[in-house]
Structure 1
Amino acid sequence: MATSTTPEATAVGERAAQILRAMQAHPGYERLTSSSMKYSTCWATFTGYPLVSQWNLDTDAAPLLDEALKVLALKAAVFELTGGDEAAAELLVPAPVDEMIHAVLAQFTVMTRMQTDLGVVFPHATELERFDYVRGCATDDCYAAAGWGEQPLRYWLDAAEVDRRLAILNERYRGAGFAPNGRSHAHIFDEAVVA
């Protein structure tokens, strides 16, 4: 029976490190990473990557992709160790990392092959996502137990910092005619654009 409790961090970390190494050794890994990087024209939301200070696709995409792959390995380990508990596997992660996870999971064919070949499931349940990641939570413990060191704080933003940055961005979005979080605008594209 699923428990919705994160298993012991050492077990998750050890299994996640094995999964990540298996992903990296898989014949589809290069396609997965290069395809995820080519997805740049469809990646961005108003509430994920823009939270990164001085975000730059050229310099931030590769390190953020590394973080997304590590989180996918962690989530797969939790999913496996809990007997398929999606709620437990939906670890707390900051929005910029989650956005890159979506770019990776959009590579459906190669991810499906990788899951089948490796015998793991890379779970992702949007309805279970919560953006209340805080430093020192179970996700951090599992990440450290995998032997990956400390997360780059440039991308691993605490929920309070995310809220602070979103408030700044939403003020700027409003000035450009966008509703909060970029969820709507009133721009009419059939009319001439006035500079």
Structure 2
Amino acid sequence: MTTTLNPQQVGERAAQILAAIETHPLHQRLTSSSMKYSTCWATFTGYPLVARWNLDTDAGPLLTEALRVLALKAAVFGLTGDEKAAELLVPPPVDEMIHAVLAQFTVMTRMQADLGVTFPHATELEEFTYSRGCVTDTYYAAAGWGEQPLRYWLDAAEVDRRLTVLDTVYAGAGVRGWGRAHDINFDAGRSPAVVG
């Protein structure tokens, strides 16, 4: 994605938005309710891409990344009014946590109104072609947050490689198409049996 925005301007605005989120009276509710959403988080192609994924240790850092990206997206949208420009490239694990945060609809609606920002997210505009050094990284650095944790910020080529590994592992359990179909027969007794 190309842009004509000044990265420093985006970064400064994003840092302001994130600080406002973190000091908002609903911040604690947002973070705690997003963490309680864990039973609905699981997809086959988001969090499982993180090596040795563990909800207990990975949920907090991923929530931090999701809030940072939402602040960046809100900054871009606020400066441009362009939903497409605001749909920054991010890797699937971070995007999945963004979905968990945005599922807290009431809290996010109140925060948007209170902060005077929009947290844009358009699934039809998403592309999973994030690569190191793209404009997302430039904005992130300009916000003063340092380098993204590479455990979650996976380059598209690495995502593709890991998806291939996951597809093989899932196939052994009868799961096909990265969770879009399976051959598990739940009526085959106490433990689900794979029907061949």
- Taking structure 1 as the reference length, the TM-score comes to 0.95
Q: Quote the residue 1:93 is aligned against.
A: 90
On the 8 A contact 1:179/1:185 being kept in 2, the answer is yes
On the 8 A contact 1:28/1:114 being kept in 2, the answer is yes
Q: Quote the residue 2:129 is aligned against.
A: 132
TM-fit CA distance, 1:187? 1.5
Q: Quote the residue 1:167 is aligned against.
A: 164
d(CA) in 2 for partners of 1:67 and 1:13? 14
Paired residues in the alignment total 191
Structure 2: give runs of 5+ residues left out of the alignment.
none
Q: Quote the residue 1:73 is aligned against.
A: 71
Range with greater deviation from structure 2 (103-112 or 184-193): 184-193
Secondary structure in structure 2 of the residue aligned to 1:14: helix
Please identify which structure carries the higher strand content: 2
Q: Which amino acid aligns with 2:63?
A: L
Secondary structure in structure 2 of the residue aligned to 1:191: coil
Q: Quote the residue 1:180 is aligned against.
A: 177
Whether 2:61 is the aligned partner of 1:63: answer yes
Whether 2:114 is the aligned partner of 1:117: answer yes
d(CA) in 2 for partners of 1:8 and 1:52? 32
On the 8 A contact 2:185/2:192 being kept in 1, the answer is no
d(CA) in 1 for partners of 2:83 and 2:151? 28
Once superposed, what is the RMSD of the aligned Cα atoms?
Answer: 1.2
Q: What does the per-residue CA deviation read over 1:71-111, in whole Å, with 9 as the maximum and x for residues that have no partner?
A: 000000000110x2110000000000000000000000000
d(CA) in 1 for partners of 2:177 and 2:138? 33
Range with greater deviation from structure 2 (184-193 or 56-65): 184-193
Secondary structure in structure 1 of the residue aligned to 2:3: coil
On the 8 A contact 1:76/1:122 being kept in 2, the answer is yes
d(CA) in 2 for partners of 1:66 and 1:44? 18
Whether 2:11 is the aligned partner of 1:9: answer no
Alignment partner for residue 20 of structure 1, among 15, 18, 21? 18
TM-fit CA distance, 1:191? 2.8
CA distance 1:6–1:172, shift in 2 (3 Å):
farther
Alignment partner for residue 53 of structure 1, among 37, 51, 59? 51
Secondary structure in structure 2 of the residue aligned to 1:165: helix
Q: What does the per-residue CA deviation read over 1:123-157, in whole Å, with 9 as the maximum and x for residues that have no partner?
A: 00000000000000000000000000000000000
d(CA) in 2 for partners of 1:66 and 1:90? 18
TM-fit CA distance, 1:5? 3.3
Alignment partner for residue 153 of structure 2, among 152, 156, 171? 156
TM-fit CA distance, 1:6? 5.6
Alignment partner for residue 145 of structure 1, among 142, 145, 149? 142
Q: Quote the residue 1:41 is aligned against.
A: 39
